[in-house]
Structure 1
């Protein structure tokens, strides 16, 4: 309503200004025409003028417009005597201007607009004028024609706008009311209903958001539950083995307890590290840069060599391409490859071999372990689920980390059972980008 009223007011001001200018132009032209008409009639002697010493003759102003009756005309001699005037013209001179043209003057306390024409042949000065008050009344009549309909239309328009907006906002208000009444843990979908397309799109967007939040919350809840359960097992083992060490004096029993303590610490350490890796993988910023995959693989293998030697496993790299620089996120790719190599080392038998092969747009890790069954492959994305042949020190997070990292990098993980035994896991690059 405020905006509409402002536009309407601006239109009125603009029309008033333009109308006033147009009225001034038209009426000035009428003054000019009337003065020349009187001068022409004088020249044709269709109007007789009196002598300056006698009373001035009456001058008729013929026109089809009723407004012409507001025009006043005076005929003065060049030496200052009046010889003719129209009916209703003022008794005093309309203007003091002695040259031709338009002028404004005050006659009997009222402003006038006057046009002066000099006829040198007849020796007279013709003055035609009208009151500016009449012009103002004409402009005001035009404004009244706009303001009166506006005064009537604006309240009606306001009521229509109010009802239309209220009706249009009602579905959104009902949706807001329904959301305010929900319990904080209620992430169920908003039921379908008859609503405008705009509200329908909002409802669908909210349902999508609720679905994502519910899925994320379920993942976090399961993650917390499983992590607490998996950490509880090695911690319980630590407590048990500590008690055995405290109560037993047998060197053999104490050695076995220390070995068990070391395994529990290793398992707990790897689980905590993988939990942190999984968190970083899922929340890290995705920035790509040119990365030498062969150099990255060599550094990773060098870092894992002590772990492989501890397991009596040979760890080597093999490349079949000269240029292995790819645009990727080095942290996510290294995290995925590290977990694949660690799983291969865990799965390899004693004196086995793990080979990291870089070929074209794929990085493969081959081991000589028992391989993964179809059932194990189906649950590879399930957190804290270890394979039947998996290491007791495993956390069940390695393949989850790999899958999450490759998904964020728009890559693929391919599992393949080798013919001579063992498992081959490949990280495939897409168009040179992991």
Structure 2
């Protein structure tokens, strides 16, 4: 049994229309059939009235009547004579009778003239039934044509009635996972109002819970920064002291751990700020200037590892966004490219406009990402099957949230060119006029 409410409604209405049409058609057929029979009796009566003052020497078909009706005028004479059928008819009283004529059932009208002669108007039952059936079927034709029309109208009305539900489903399908805006209930049918009110209440509770979680993460990261910074300063103060090699190694490990922790806290704070930030706070940003500044900051790190960091194209492109957020996007992507590019590799950065969009493209010559992990690369804290460096796995998650907040998209793909391997990150944002 179908679980679709629309399917159930259409099936039920179809059954009602078909059953009602069948019952109505049967009654209409019987009524039309009986009316046709009575009409043919009336025709026999009218012919008998015309033949009252006329006589013929022999039986003959009646002129002026449809030849297919096979109406015959029979002269019986003043006394019984002729065939056995004529003599039997002569013995009947005047009026309509069901009789047998030449071995076939027939309808017969008997009349007696003032001079005592008698006649009969006869018509075979077979032709009468055929004529009545044809007339009854013609009566059924409008009903038979009406049923498909009603089914079509029913389907259209049901489809139109469920259109608000379909529109709501389509709106929810295209929403981002973090879009918790209330569903519009003003234009929805009254039957959907309680359901929409419940859904909106659930969305409000989810939004409040997510806000609480984000604020907790931001507050916790902020509170942890102070003791971690203090510990880092104390570790730095130990550098000038003379200590055994083993203690010096443990100190370096401690400083490295605190550096990773501080970086993680910075990323958590950045993620929380992006979750809590308002997308309406934006301005026109020259994207190429931000990218050039970030590349300039990272040139020293790239040079230490002999990584060729430079531009393939740097067109003048503007976007409407928060400059700090855009700088975070560029820095995360370029840092990742430099970090995962082996010594002596290269990182190419391109900025250009295409079809009304600003494109930022970063290619590296690193090992790339396994195809099975491409979809998971934007998940928070995901660092792949072989993590390396001090990364926290939050950079790409932050990038995706910022890009999505400003109506853009990001795509990560492995380079499959014969002369080069690595990873390509492409960010697309609506270009500002």
* Bucket of the pairwise TM-score, normalised by the shorter protein: 0.3 to 0.5
With normalisation by structure 1, the TM-score equals: 0.45
Q: Which has the larger radius of gyration?
A: 1
